[in-house]
Chain A
Amino acid sequence: MRKLAVFLLLLGTGLLAAGVFLGDTAVIFRKAVFVCLECIGIG
């Protein structure tokens, strides 16, 4: 279980870094800084 936890932590870190490198955070930011009309029920 510990080995699996370590593997998941490493994999998670790798995916996180890949996401930052590929610009995922910019996609998140662009959505998050405007009112999400779907989220608030306007559609």
Chain B
Amino acid sequence: MLVYNADAGNWFSGTVSRSPLKHVCVPGLNCYSCPGAVAACPLGSLQNTIANGRFPFFITGFLMLAGTLLGRMVCSFVCPVGLIQELLYKIPSPKVKRTKRLLRVTRKVSLLKYIFLAVLCIIVPFAFFLRDGLGSPLFCSLICPAGTVEAGIPLVLLNEGLRKAAGLLFTWKTALAAVFVIWSVYMFRPFCRFVCPLGAVYSFFNRVALFGIHVDTKACTHCGACVASCKMDTLEVNDRECIRCGECLKTCRFNALSSGFMAGGPAVKKRKPDCVR
């Protein structure tokens, strides 16, 4: 987070960085309007390129490379929004308990992020371009809490002109960001699991990513302890929700799990976890 937003001077001037690194993106979700942001946001850049009627060669290539190398490891180790949610989850409070019924619900709701990716990030910006000659980054403008928390609120506080221009949309986005902040205290990474289109993109690469969790099929007894303890509600190691945090490695009693590069691959054959209540 500090590396992504290292241009500290802009925090005092209320402007955004003009770092030459803004020609390229960081792999995690980090709004390029954050005063300190030294590089561009991949999701914002994707939407903006499509909204200009261009095929996003650079961003697609970048996401493909990052996804194939790391998969959703980006979410656990490289994304500031993930970090903020994990820090909020550490606040002592009652936590939403994992049950079989809730698991079924969360798995279905987690498909929402693919809809956000397809509709708000790709289809609608391009449709607006076709209609009006210029589209709009709809996910950024309607949903993204990273933009609100990292950029919107600091810039509105620092810049009087922006403060006067803030209206209903700003109120909506601030309220939505507050919902995610509060939700993150009680549930693990709700934005990553249910909303983030960038997580949706990287999830496509989870099965083939070079960095992953390896399951030793000879040592594995299919006890299901790994997925039972998983806070991302995975059904199997390395599935689309797996962020390669490595917590399951600690719960496996048979040392069947290991992580690292060239470790990823097909997961254990699907079997209903015994340990889920």
A interface list, Cβ under 8 A from B: 1, 4-5, 8-9, 11-20, 22, 24-29, 31-43
Q: What separation, in Å, do the CA atoms of A25 and B56 have in the docked complex?
A: 10
- Give chain B residues whose Cβ lies under 8 Å from the Cβ of A27: 48-49, 52, 54
Q: What separation, in Å, do the CA atoms of A2 and B169 have in the docked complex?
A: 46
A28-B24, A32-B32 known, 15 other contacts, Cβ within 8 Å: A1-B264, A8-B208, A15-B57, A15-B61, A18-B58, A22-B54, A24-B57, A25-B24, A27-B54, A28-B25, A32-B44, A38-B141, A40-B156, A40-B162, A43-B169
- Give chain A residues whose Cβ lies under 8 Å from the Cβ of B49: 24, 27-28
A29 to chain B: closest CB distance in Å? Answer: 5
Contact assessment for B207 and A1 in the assembled complex, using a CB-CB cutoff below 8 Å: yes
Map CB proximity to A onto B36-66 as digits: 1 under 8 Å, 0 otherwise. 0101110011001100101011111111110
Q: Indicate whether B251 reaches chain A with its CB closer than 8 angstroms.
A: no
Contact assessment for B61 and A16 in the assembled complex, using a CB-CB cutoff below 8 Å: yes
From A5, A18, A41, name the one whose CB has the most chain B CB atoms within 10 angstroms.
A41
- Give chain B residues whose Cβ lies under 8 Å from the Cβ of A15: 57-58, 60-61, 64
B interface list, Cβ under 8 A from A: 15-18, 20, 22-25, 31-33, 37, 39-41, 44-45, 48-49, 52, 54, 56-65, 67-69, 136-137, 140-141, 144, 147-148, 151-152, 155-156, 162, 165-167, 169-174, 205, 207-210, 264-266
Contact assessment for B15 and A35 in the assembled complex, using a CB-CB cutoff below 8 Å: yes
Contact assessment for A41 and B61 in the assembled complex, using a CB-CB cutoff below 8 Å: no
- Give chain A residues whose Cβ lies under 8 Å from the Cβ of B54: 22, 24, 27
Contact assessment for B23 and A39 in the assembled complex, using a CB-CB cutoff below 8 Å: no
Who on chain B is nearest to A26 by CB? B23
**Cross-interface CB contact of A39 among B59, B63, B147, B165, cutoff 8 Å:** B147
- Give chain B residues whose Cβ lies under 8 Å from the Cβ of A17: 61
- Give chain A residues whose Cβ lies under 8 Å from the Cβ of B40: 28-29, 31-32
